Structure 1
């Protein structure tokens, strides 16, 4: 009887440890997220399930063109692409991105630009026109969805505070047939 009690206790301890490790991973390191909508098309699809790396930006900074998850003003999480970093000036002219006066290629948009009919994928603008500021403020990002004609992003909601950034995402794990690393 004592042996059976001891074995049961060992199983309970193992389960408690497994749950604790899973909770630590979920709340501090990695988290699942579901893409909700079409603002990141063609890179991401509605209902794609992804893994968010929550620790990466605690020890480092975002890079231009990272795909990030952040808490949006509507009390939900958004997935967008980093276009502007702190101190950057941003301008779109004739469907070309200019950061600090330098033109940048956005190869993740090439396929989509070929499909677009009736004007540019990204309408021309300057950061000052949209926000009243010439540069992205310190500790903030300027983000945009890849589906530029149908994305609620920094053009509408303004700059994203780094305090609201949950983390970086680049791994689609579901549906299995679409499993991939996105850039």
Structure 2
């Protein structure tokens, strides 16, 4: 009986791995508090690999870590919410932050092939307010769902 359970578990795991590889899905661990209360440190999310053309404003995306001092100790990827896509207005919160830091916004629209990202927890997030535009080739994919159920309203 135990052998059957083990074999079933192995087959199920192999099927999941095959599904993930063929469907271009990736599991990413959340690190840090920048996306609270949507995602918490230690959560896991399922990400569908996607090109920039498949990303929409409001999506949660995983992008390559920017070359910025805020991320000196961070992992390879960061998770943020898309604030604006190419051709859309630069959000006021980003324009205001850039103006405070003496950065020229180079027009009021997001340029082609770029996007702007924000964390859901603005006081604890390094995002486009700090590093500017993100290039489309930095996008790994779109978060499709959280993989670890957690109690709503939990605090850390």
Common fold: TM-score over 0.5: yes
Secondary structure of the corresponding residue to residue 125 of structure 1: helix
Note closer, same or farther for the CA distance 1:132–1:60 as it changes in structure 2 (3 Å cut).
closer
Secondary structure of the corresponding residue to residue 90 of structure 1: coil
Determine the structure 1 residue equivalent to 2:54: 61
Normalised by the length of structure 2, the TM-score is 0.69
Normalised by the length of structure 1, the TM-score is 0.60
1:169: how far off? 0.3
Q: Deviations over 1:138-163 (max 9, x none)?
A: 11110000111221001111211111
Residue pair 1:130, 1:155 contacting (<8 A) in 2 also? no
Indicate which of 122, 125, 138 corresponds to 1:164. 138
Unaligned runs of 5+ in 1: 1-14, 93-121
1:25: how far off? 2.8
Secondary structure of the corresponding residue to residue 78 of structure 2: strand
Determine the structure 1 residue equivalent to 2:64: 71
Determine the structure 2 residue equivalent to 1:85: 85
Determine the structure 2 residue equivalent to 1:145: 119
**What CA distance in whole angstroms lies between the structure 2 residues aligned with 1:59 and 1:143?**
13
Residue pair 2:48, 2:142 contacting (<8 A) in 1 also? yes
Residue pair 1:84, 1:142 contacting (<8 A) in 2 also? yes
Determine the structure 1 residue equivalent to 2:39: 44
Residue pair 1:172, 1:178 contacting (<8 A) in 2 also? no
1:72: how far off? 1.4
**What CA distance in whole angstroms lies between the structure 1 residues aligned with 2:23 and 2:139?**
13
Determine the structure 1 residue equivalent to 2:72: none
Unaligned runs of 5+ in 2: 1-10, 68-74
Q: Which has the larger radius of gyration?
A: 1
Higher percent of residues as strand: 1
**What CA distance in whole angstroms lies between the structure 2 residues aligned with 1:177 and 1:38?**
15
Q: Number of residues paired by the alignment?
A: 132
Q: Deviations over 1:99-157 (max 9, x none)?
A: xxxxxxxxxxxxxxxxxxxxxxx687176764532221111110000111221001111
RMSD (Å), alpha carbons: 3.1
Range 60-69 or range 131-140, more displaced:
131-140
Indicate which of 14, 25, 33 corresponds to 2:20. 25
